[in-house]
Amino acid sequence: MKFVDEATIRVMAGKGGDGCLSFRREKFIPRGGPDGGDGGDGGSVYLVVDKGLNTLADFRHARHFKAGNGEPGRGSNCTGASGQDRQIRVPLGTLVYDDGTGELIGDLTSVEASLLVARGGERGLGNTRFKSSTNRAPRRTTKGHPGEERDLRLEMQVLADVGLLGLPNAGKSTLIRRLSAARPKVADYPFTTLYPHLGVVRTAADQSFVMADIPGLIEGAAAGAGLGIQFLRHLSRTRLLLQLVDIGTDMDAGGLAQQVGVIEQELKNYREALFERERWLVLTKSDLVPGEDLERRRAALVNALHWDRPVFAISAATGDGCRELAMAVQHWVDAHAAPENRLENAEYDGTT
């Protein structure tokens, strides 16, 4: 199924039931007094995380969701039944905005998360509520209140420990295919990846991390060029970025450094916090470069970039260096794990 990461829906809570105007009328009980019951509360609308979902595609057609109305009160002090709540299932990692104001309402980053997005209307009061020592036969009732209605914009951001970024055809999809069971499309032309892919990289029986592959970035992505602006936000929740550079090209160190600079500038333009995140350099397609030449090119690129962070040379096609990279990432993820569930503590703006 095609990845869908944005949707607009309308939610409508139920109306509260009206209060009842009634008087007790039984044989041998004259002037029995008021016995009109209250109405029922209107049902509310909730967004509930379903860990089995990984897309907002269900909202392409179903866009209106309404909770049940409360029933009116009845005689004999019978309260009307409350309206049934409406639960809308959404994927883990969904951001919820008020479409009218742009206000962030909630961030569903826990598998047990539930978010109230439209509160049901309050019940109306029956005439029993208004009896007093001076008003023995009140004919006053109140109507049920209408439920809340609002338009919501849902935006999904993938939850992953590690994000892959780089220019088109840098080898991101090949790497995630090598390290996990994810099977994104791989081809010899740009933009073969059209939507994000998540893969679980298992390094031991009880150790693993989640890796995200997003479409390739080009210059101007943060301003809307290519597919980058649509998917840069998916890197916001990752804690470690792997910047892939094709070392097998004919470019010299200056040209490769310029490619790295393009990606860095797009990260900075999109969000400063994303640019400052922990980022490692991964030189891909090393099988295309002889050993001595590979070390020379690696050293020249590191010098050109003044790079002081980890650097790895790998070949996803042959597997060379991939195990070492995966283990280094696993050690970093374990060392920087949050005290609680790391996905549940992720913030929507990318901080942890």
Token pair in block for residue 263:
């990606």
pLDDT of 144 strictly over 50: yes
Class of domain 1-156: mainly beta
Contacts of 212 (CB under 8 A, 6+ apart): 158, 160, 162, 163, 164, 196, 197, 198, 234, 235, 238
- 24-50 per-position pLDDT tens digit: 988 888 778 999 999 999 999 999 998
What is the Cα–Cα distance from 321 to 335, expressed in whole angstroms? 21
- 194-246 per-position pLDDT tens digit: 457 778 888 888 888 888 887 656 444 444 444 445 567 777 778 899 999 99
Answer yes or no: are the C-beta atoms of 7 and 156 closer than 8 Å: no
Contacts of 203 (CB under 8 A, 6+ apart): 209, 326, 327, 330
All CATH 3.40.50.300 domain ranges of the chain, comma separated, are 162-335
- 49-88 per-position pLDDT tens digit: 987 787 787 888 889 999 999 999 999 999 999 999 999 9
Whether the model clears a pTM of 0.85, i.e. scores above it, the answer is no
Class of domain 162-335: alpha beta
Neighbours of 207 (CB within 10 A): 13
SS3 348: coil
All CATH 2.70.210.12 domain ranges of the chain, comma separated, are 1-156
Answer yes or no: are the C-beta atoms of 156 and 73 closer than 8 Å: no
